[in-house]
């Protein structure tokens, strides 16, 4: 029986092995019953949006910090994606839980640098992920290599967005205030929330009201906040400069 790796509103993901060479893969089944959208990609025609975005992201030269799509199949009620499956690996949320709920500042810095390399690549390809969070980041447990995955909420970059998709706790305050947001600021916000969760072990905001009135507060145990602040400033500076 194939091992179930995860489930969600999209469907489910199973572990598999490619017969031709024994390569470990992840098999993602996505139901077409949810809002189903397609994008037209030159040379590929119309593809499911998630498949299209991963195809664009994986076009040569690819980014080693983004999960690779190996193949996909279209069925009447669902589509199936065959994805690479690094071993040993787990999502970043589970990795944190197994390490006391949070990461050291050194490990967090390494993880965030790789995440921003992935997002920089997405930006260069005109892709907005829209659901950056630890659950959508794989980490190879023996090397700490990071890969961004799950582009199911993604879209091509455009002027502004007036529809919600993603995870509320990682959504920028302008969505709750103005019901719209821009690609780059929304990405920077989700990266900041992700960083806070990795280092502090919890979310900075849990309700839309808290996000509207957002004031980041860090726990005192983290080098009295000094090292964490340097980490945040470094990552924010690097990310915002490379996004331009």
Instruction: Confirm if 37 and 47 have CB atoms less than 8 A apart.
Output: no
CA distances from 186 to 49, 61, 116 (A): 20, 26, 14
CA atoms within 13 Å, Cβ hemisphere of 176? 15
Catalytic-role residue among 91, 94, 131, 150? 131
Other CB atoms closer than 10 Å to residue 149's CB: what's the count?
Answer: 22
Active site residue 91: no
Q: Are 199 and 228 in contact (CB under 8 A)?
A: yes
- Contact between 189 and 172 (Cβ < 8 Å): yes
Q: Buried (b) or exposed (e) across 32-49, using 16+ Cβ within 10 A?
A: eeeeeeebeeeeeeebbb
- CA–CA–CA angle 159, 113, 192 (5° rounding): 55
Going by C-alpha positions, the residue among 36, 3, 11 that lies closest to residue 150 is 11
- Residues annotated catalytic, as ranges: 131
């Amino acid at each position: 029986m194939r091992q179930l790796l995860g489930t969600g509103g999209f469907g489910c993901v199973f572990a598999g092995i490619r017969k031709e060479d024994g390569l470990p893969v992840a098999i993602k089944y996505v139901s077409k019953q949810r809002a189903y959208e397609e994008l037209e990609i030159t040379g590929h025609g119309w593809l499911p949006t998630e498949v299209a975005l991963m195809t664009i992201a994986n076009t040569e030269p690819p980014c080693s910090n983004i999960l690779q799509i190996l193949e996909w199949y279209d069925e009447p009620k669902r589509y199936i994606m065959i994805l690479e499956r690094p071993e040993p690996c787990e999502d970043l949320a589970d990795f944190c839980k197994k390490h006391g709920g949070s990461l050291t500042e050194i490990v967090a810095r390494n993880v965030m640098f790789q995440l921003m390399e992935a997002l920089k690549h997405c930006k260069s390809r005109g892709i907005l992920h829209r659901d950056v969070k630890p659950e959508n980041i794989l980490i190879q447990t023996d090397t700490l290599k990071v890969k961004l995955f799950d582009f199911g909420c993604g879209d091509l970059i455009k002027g502004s967005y007036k529809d919600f998709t993603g995870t509320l706790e990682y959504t920028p305050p302008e969505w709750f205030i103005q019901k719209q947001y821009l690609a780059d600021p929304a990405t920077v916000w989700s990266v900041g929330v992700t960083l806070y969760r990795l280092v502090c072990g919890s979310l900075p905001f849990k309700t839309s009201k808290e996000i509207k009135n957002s004031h980041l507060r860090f726990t005192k145990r983290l080098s009295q906040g000094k090292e964490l602040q340097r980490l945040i400033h470094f990552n924010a500076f690097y990310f915002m400069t490379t996004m331009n």
